[in-house]
Amino acid sequence: MTTLPLSRSHLRAMLRLMRALYRLQRLPAYRQQLAARLPAVARFDPGHDSVMMGYDFHLTANGPRLIEVNTNAGGALLAQRAYRPDFPSDLPGPQYRPLTQLLESFFQEMRLFSRGRQTKPERLVILDEEPEKQYLAEEMELLCTLFNRQGIAAALADPRQLQPQREGIHYQGQRVDLIYNRHCDFYLESAPMAAVRAAYLAGHICLTPNPHTYALLADKRRMILWSDPAALAALGVAQSDREILQEMVPLCRLLADLDPVALWTTRKQWVFKPVTAFGSRGVLLGDSISRQRFQALDPHTTLVQQFIPPTLLPDRGMKVDWRLFVYQNKLLGVAPRVYQGQVTNFRSPGSGYATVRLLP
């Protein structure tokens, strides 16, 4: 088991950044500026938030720096193995605080969606494309177990298994009132997600995470605005929040807005990310990109982000990033992720979640 130190000052900085972004996404001027460029499904506000938010950071000599925000961050349950080696065979009871907080976030979504008429879902589906084949299938199955223990009928489902009805979505002949959406069609644009989209826009289903939250916080293009102090000032963002964002959000720009000749010269200072990708797919580090690959990048769908190196564990040849699991502006957990290679993954020996030791 690996234990990694984290200073309380660094944790407080990460929390300040997360809460500054939560305030920003609720700012009417911010929402109004984005509205014209968002698809209709993202402009629809369902009246609730999104479970399983993930804020990913690298630690530098000058403190933590945000790498990205995710609306369907996986691993919150599996990270518990770092603290409880017997997890999940000895799945803790509902009094175990991390699980209680996690479940409560889903119940709060149901209360907000139903405007207080329903305290928790009766039937819940965890939705993904062929969920049993997903890398985090075990975690989704564990969540089903947790919900079932709470008296909530929960199951994994592929979108093609859902049955659209006039009053909403059914699964195996039973009406579903909450979908925990692990599918990476964030704007519900694909044919298999059409029924979910229709039920969501009609207000028949509590969909969490949802396109509205994704558009406000997890669409990679938002980091362009977050790293622009003048644009934030024009929106009326409080000076204290602007200072936090300027300090902790790396410079981000769309490739189309930069000089490609100058960018190629300084490429080692940048990371190139497809704006609609997920799970580090298509991410290219500037120090390893070829000239041919660089010239093939779509300037209108490529985010150019200042490179912030991860923490290195020199004795093991491993890298570390830090994920905050969050609901609304509340911390659910901190998970250092140890990995090898260009992007975070747990497929190499010695990789996985570590425990945290907070320092003064």
| CATH number of the domain within which 189 lies | 3.40.50.1760
334 and 12 Cβ atoms separated by less than 8 Å = no
Q: Which residue has the tokens 């000032």?
A: 233
Residue 254 pairs in a beta bridge with 303
312 in any annotated domain: no
170 in any annotated domain: yes
Percent of the chain residues past pLDDT 70, beyond the cut = 94
Residue 305 pairs in a beta bridge with 252, 271
223 in any annotated domain: no
132 in any annotated domain: yes
179 in any annotated domain: yes
pLDDT top residue among 77 and 69: 69
pLDDT tens sequence across 13-45: 999 999 999 999 999 999 999 999 999 999 999
pLDDT at 113: 98
CA distance 178 to 181: 9
56 and 14 Cβ atoms separated by less than 8 Å = no
Q: What is the mean pLDDT of residues 89-109?
A: 79
From start to end of the chain, where are the E strands? 3-7, 53-60, 63-70, 123-127, 153-157, 162-165, 168-171, 174-176, 178-181, 206-208, 252-254, 270-274, 284-285, 302-306, 311-313, 318-327, 330-339, 352-353, 355-359
Q: Could you list the residue range(s) of the whole structural domain that residue 121 is in?
A: 91-208
pLDDT tens sequence across 267-303: 999 999 999 876 567 799 999 999 999 999 999 999 9
172 in any annotated domain: yes
CA distance 155 to 164: 17
CA distances in angstroms from 249 to 47, 235, 282, 343, listed in the order given: 28, 17, 21, 19
pLDDT at 343: 60
CA distances in angstroms from 73 to 33, 58, 220, 224, listed in the order given: 26, 16, 14, 21
Per the structure block, which two tokens stand in for 6?
A: 């984290």
60 in any annotated domain: no
Query: How many structural domains is the chain composed of?
Result: 1
pLDDT top residue among 82 and 124: 124
pLDDT at 346: 64
pLDDT tens sequence across 150-179: 999 999 999 999 999 999 999 999 999 999
Instruction: Categorize the per-residue pLDDT at 342 as very low, low, confident or very high, splitting at 50, 70 and 90.
Output: low
pLDDT tens sequence across 296-337: 999 999 999 999 999 888 777 789 999 999 999 999 999 999
185 in any annotated domain: yes
Instruction: Categorize the per-residue pLDDT at 55 as very low, low, confident or very high, splitting at 50, 70 and 90.
Output: very high
